[in-house]
Structure 1
Amino acid sequence: MDLYAEKKSYLSVFQMTIMTTITVASLRGLPAMAIEGKASIIMYLVPAILFLVPTALVGAELASTYQGGVYVWVKEAFGNKWGFLAIWLQWIQNVVWYPIQLAFVAAALAFAIGRPDLSNSGLFTTAVIIIVYWLATFLSLQGGNLFAKVSSYGGMIGTIIPAVVLIFLGGMWLATGEPIRDAYTESSFLPKVTGIGSLVLIISNVLAYAGMEVNAVHVDQMRNPKKDYTKSVFLAVILIMLVFIIPTLTISIAIPKRDLGLDNGIMVAFSSMFERFGVGWLGNVFAGAIFIGAIASVITWVSGPSKGLLAAGRTGLLPPLLQKKNKHDVQVGILILQGLIVTALAMIYVLIPDVSEVFLALVGMAAALYLIMYVLMYAAAIILRKKDPKIKRGYSVPALPLVAGIGLIACVLAFVVSFFPAQTSSVIPSSIYTLVVLVVVVILGIPPLVFYALRKPNWDRRTEVEKQATARLEELEEEK
């Protein structure tokens, strides 16, 4: 019986592949990219070459060699302080992203129940954000691989299957001679660069592929981590590109440009195409599927970064209250904290119903922090290859300094342009945009340095066995 329970606790290649795919790929942004028409192909491919592929390759080498995710990778290269900073940056960017993703969940639910008007209700949006987030937290608190089952199957239902259906609908649209819309016909294969805003939009699109490394913290739950995780990463890259490119072209072919800038654009796209083929009721069905997929994405993000943050905190970098774990060995202290933050942010929708642009601006600014984490990750990969040249690696990146260097440069460029607005904002004047970004980066990025400076001996909650194991590893490092 125990053997059966142990076997059931493993994450499969399928689960890790879908979890990684839905961590990165979201249907939410497809309509906005579809406005670019044929140019969207280049706008997807260039960031993929400069960021997604390097991240996948470097992440596969690091995860198949050093278990524990970005915290362990950066710590092994630069020390505990910088490892803590890296995982904090991944975690905090994620926390401020939740309200945007969950507001999308609320819009999908509104369409699924045939009440699209509710997507503009601040009260409805707030209620959905709070209920869904705490449901995701509850699932994560159950431990084991329950979260993986929910997120992987939910991802299939709400991301992979709808993407495949969009591809099918695109083929049907062309085969039946339906009109091709202006977003596609008026575009060229080369993106239009009309100023700094256009350049910022193109370069900053690297963040469309952020998250490839998030699920590496679960690699120790796979039966054969070195082989299976690497395989899942490469399969995820293929799925991510399929989810992004062809469905985006389908939307640009079938949906008028005027309808593509809406927050609920993906639901409008499905409804419009299904109505054109006389099965409008399927629009509600697929809105429900997208609702499930978006929840699966949130569940995946809830469990990943917080687990890595706990690993760092247990070395004495977080107060004991935030290191608290439940009977399933899950980071209950951190999950409750981020739940309270998300709940507080959700309440803003009640006070200011039309607040989506504010959150989009905040998430865009917080993304600058995420880029710092990626710079640390790429640099760690280069340092660890030199530092541990003889260690057995599950996967080795060919020409790693070049591959990691390309990703690092892409992140530095994206970080620099993140201080410039991609377009005129009614919320933040362009004259002070750079200053506001700087303030957000400092406020959200400084806490780990404060925790590190204030750390106390009694914050170290590791067992004696864990401390001895760490000490032995440090001795081995010094001998090298």
Structure 2
Amino acid sequence: MTNSQTETPHLKRVLGKWDLVLLFVVAVFNLNVVPSIAANGGVTIWLWLISLVLFFWPQGIAVIELAHRYPGEGGVYLWAKEVFGDFHGFLSGWCYWTNNMLYVPTVMLYFVGVSVYVLGPSHQGLADNKVFALSASLVLLIVLVVLNVIGLGVGKWINNIGAIGTFIAAATLLILGLVVGLKQGASIHYVNFAIPTDRRFLFNAFGVICFGLVGLELASIMGDEIQEPRKTLPGAVLWGGVISGLLYISVTLTLLVAAGKNGISVLQGIVQAVGHLAEQAHVTWIIVPFALMLSLAIAGIGSAWLAGSARIPFVAGLDNYMPSWLGRVHPKYATPYAALIVHAVISLLLVLVNFLGGAGVQETFQTMLSLAVVLQLVPFLYMFGALVRFGLKYEAGKGVYGRPALLLSGISGFITTTLGIALAFFPAQTIKSVSQYEFKMFGGTAFFIGLAAFFFFIYGGRKARLAAQSAANQAA
């Protein structure tokens, strides 16, 4: 046997209940997706409610059920592997990881769009400067990688600070909206929540909403680093889910009230809304500290997804379905440093490739976000499919939930996820070239799934040969 098969790297259990709650909030409640969704108008509130009931609630049940049955490092990778077999486990983990290679750059670009407000009004145009956006993204990625290589004991504080920053940023927006609303009256009426005649752009919004609601599964990927996971996880999922859902709906409403459907930028919509409300409330001084706090929140989001998703190639490396060196842990800090570094490098290259294609910063953001939606939701097909299988082959006392809850949540989640994937291929309002968008979406999806098959069958064959050689040696 190889060393990766005989030795399980030692990972430290450093995540407690409230670390997980804050991790869920910072991972699930992503302010960077709200402007892209709210730009479609008040009808998105109905889409939020539908998605919370048909996707988010089943997701919580799936995470608790699967983490109970299959605890350990790997999360979506481990679950699909145990229920459906090695290839499906690898594909689930691969899509989860590659999605985050696309999503982490969108977080970096969003960070750039917000952080320029800290520099003052004269520097806000830098958000659309490709050189500045790429340079700032590189600096932030390096900082996050270094902190997470040092260890989750340090990296989790970036997540926690990000969650606190998210709370403060969301609370500031909500309080300003309430003050202005009480002072001037409501600027949005029931007609604003009607379904528009042109429904094309709502399709993409629904996929992005489902994407915005993922994250409850993130902690289970770090299952070996949670203190008493079976006891800690269910309560953390409940609290993190409730808080995130309420924040999403309230912030979307406030953003629509403050900026209006046509005044929302996908990169700077939140700061623009706060600036508009601050002017009306005569507290314009609040814009700079708000932008600083929101920048911290965005950095926390990037750290959470970078750290969590890097565990997928780490586990795949240990399983020999990817290069074994991806399964290395740092000799001093006991962290999957090789997987973290590879993740960051590829994310940066993807940003560079999109910029070289001629797209602007905002269009690059939207295209990468939509492709991330497709790849991110693939593992959820396996999660909800597993619930359906458990319900059909129900064994009392084996899991947490009964047959009706497993079947209802599994079927609901599976159908909603399938719709979310399909609808992400429809272009958002910010897309200027539909043909280029569709080429990137279909081509990117085919490329990443094809690459998954390549790694699985090439390295899977290598793994089979190693196993056969090991068996022969033992027999001798």
Classify the TM-score, shorter chain: 0.7 to 0.9
Matched, 1:300 2:304: yes
Counterpart check, 1:381 vs 2:381:
no
- Answer with 76-85 or 409-418: which moved more: 409-418
Are positions 1:335 and 2:334 aligned together? Answer: no
Q: CA deviation digits over 1:358-388, x for unaligned, max 9?
A: 3422331342222222111111233346668
Which residue is equivalent to 1:450? 454
Q: Alpha-carbon deviations, 1:181-202, whole Å to 9, x = none? A: 4xx2484334325344434534
Q: What corresponds to 1:250 in structure 2?
A: 254
Check whether the contact 2:366–2:431 (CA below 8 A) recurs between aligned residues: no
Matches within 5 A, 1:278-293: 278-293=282-297
TM-score (norm 1): 0.86
Find the aligned partners of 2:18 and 2:319 in 1 and give their Cα distance: 33
Partner amino acid, structure 1, of 2:441: V
Residue identity opposite 2:23 in structure 1: M
Mapped partners of 2:316, 2:134: distance in 1: 32
Contact 2:93 2:312 in 1 (8 A): yes
Aligned to 2:282, the other structure's residue is in SS state coil
Secondary structure at the residue paired with 2:107?
Answer: helix
- In structure 2, relative to structure 1, the CA distance for the partners of 1:195 and 1:292 (3 Å cut) is closer
Which residue of 2 is the match for residue 162 of structure 1?
169
Q: Which runs of 4+ in 1 moved over 4 A?
A: 348-353, 384-388, 394-398, 432-436, 456-460
**Aligned 8 A contact 1:219 1:229 in 2:** no
SS class of match (1:446)? helix
- Cα shift at 1:104: 0.9
* Match for residue 92 of structure 1 among 98, 111, 128: 98
Equivalent residue number for residue 158 of structure 2? 150
Provide the C-alpha distance between the structure 2 equivalents of 1:144 and 1:200, rounded to a whole number of angstroms.
Answer: 35
Shift in Å at residue 410 of structure 1?
Answer: 0.8
Structure 1, gaps ≥5 residues long = 1-5, 469-480
Measured in 1, the distance between the counterparts of 2:68 and 2:149 equals 26
**How many angstroms apart in 1 are the aligned matches of 2:285 and 2:359?**
28
Instruction: Give 3-state SS (helix, strand or coil) of 2:193's partner.
Output: coil
**Partner-residue secondary structure (3-state), 1:326:** coil
CA-to-partner distance for each residue in 1:142-194, whole Å, 9 max, x for gaps?
Answer: 1243222220222112x11211222222221122226x44xx24843343253
Equivalent-residue separation in structure 2 for 1:397 and 1:296 (angstroms): 38
Q: Aligned AA for 2:126?
A: L
Q: CA deviation at 1:343?
A: 2.5
- Provide the residue aligned with 1:124 in structure 2: 132
Q: 1:387 to 1:142 in 2, by over 3 A?
A: farther
Cα offset, 1:272, TM superposition: 2.0
Structure 2 residue identity aligned to 1:147:
G
Does the CA contact (< 8 Å) of 2:313 and 2:326 recur in 1?
A: no
Residue 3 of structure 1 aligns with which residue?
none
Percent identity of equivalent pairs: 23
CA contact (8 A) 1:129 1:346 kept: no
Matched positions, count: 453
Residue in structure 2 matching 1:211, options 191, 195, 215:
215
Residue 399 of structure 1 corresponds to 405
Deviates more, 1:112-121 or 1:185-194: 185-194
Q: Does residue 111 in structure 1 map to residue 122 in structure 2? A: no
**1:18-29 mapped onto 2 (5 Å cutoff):** 18-29=22-33
Q: 1:437 to 1:144 in 2, by over 3 A?
A: closer
Question: For residue 234 of structure 2, what is the amino acid of its counterpart?
Answer: T
Alignment partner of 1:173 out of 180, 196, 217: 180
Instruction: Select 1:409's aligned residue among 415, 423, 432.
Output: 415
Contact 2:81 2:90 (C-alpha < 8 Å) held by counterparts? yes
SS of 1:145 mapped into structure 2: helix
The 3 A distance-change label for structure 1 pair 451 and 424 is same
Gap change, CA 1:146 and 1:389, over 3 Å in 2: farther
**Separation in structure 2 between the aligned mates of residue 428 and residue 160 of structure 1, nearest angstrom:** 36
Rounded Cα–Cα distance in structure 2 between residues aligned with 1:310 and 1:389? 33
| Equivalence map 1:300-379=2 (5 Å) | 300-327=304-331, 328-347=333-352, 352=358, 354-379=360-385
Per mean C-alpha deviation after superposition, the further-off stretch among 274-283 and 83-92 is: 274-283
**Inter-partner Cα distance in structure 1 for 2:204 and 2:447:** 23
Distance 2:446 2:353 in 1: 22
Separation of aligned partners in 1, 2:192 and 2:155? 42
Could you say if the C-alpha distance between residues 459 and 128 of structure 1 is closer, same or farther in structure 2, counting changes exceeding 3 Å?
A: farther
Q: Is the 8 A contact 2:180 2:280 kept in 1?
A: no
Q: Tell me the TM-score normalised to structure 2 length.
A: 0.86
Q: Any idea what SS the aligned residue of 2:184 has?
A: coil
Contact 1:20 1:233 survives alignment (8 Å):
yes
Cα distance in 2 between the residues matched to 1:289 and 1:250: 18
Asked if 1:264 corresponds to 2:271, the answer is no
2:249 counterpart SS class = helix
2:176–2:281 contact (8 Å) kept in structure 1: no
Paired residues of 2:387 and 2:409 also in contact (CA < 8 A): no
Q: Which whole-Å CA distance do the structure 2 matches of 1:427 and 1:141 have between them?
A: 40
- The secondary structure found in structure 2 opposite 1:64 is helix
Change (3 A) 1:340 1:25: same
The Cα offsets for residues 240-262 of structure 1, whole Å up to 9 and x where unpaired, read as 12211112212222224442135
The gaps in structure 2 that reach 5 residues or longer are: 1-9, 472-476
- Counterpart CA distance in 2 for 1:294 and 1:302 is 12
Matched with 1:58 is 62
Contact kept, 8 Å, 1:47 with 1:203, in 2: the verdict is: no
SS at match of 1:455: helix
- 1:71 pairs, out of 71, 77, 93, with 77
Residues 77 and 380, structure 1, Cα contact 8 Å, conserved in 2: yes
Instruction: Please report how far the alpha carbon of residue 459 of structure 1 lies from its aligned counterpart in structure 2 after TM superposition.
Output: 5.8
The farther-off stretch of 191-200 and 46-55 is 191-200
Map Cα deviations across residues 44-102 of structure 1 (whole Å, 9 max, x no partner). 10111111111111111111331231111111101122111101100001101222210
Q: Which residue of 1 aligns with 2:192?
A: 188
Calculate the aligned-residue CA RMSD, in Å. Answer: 2.9
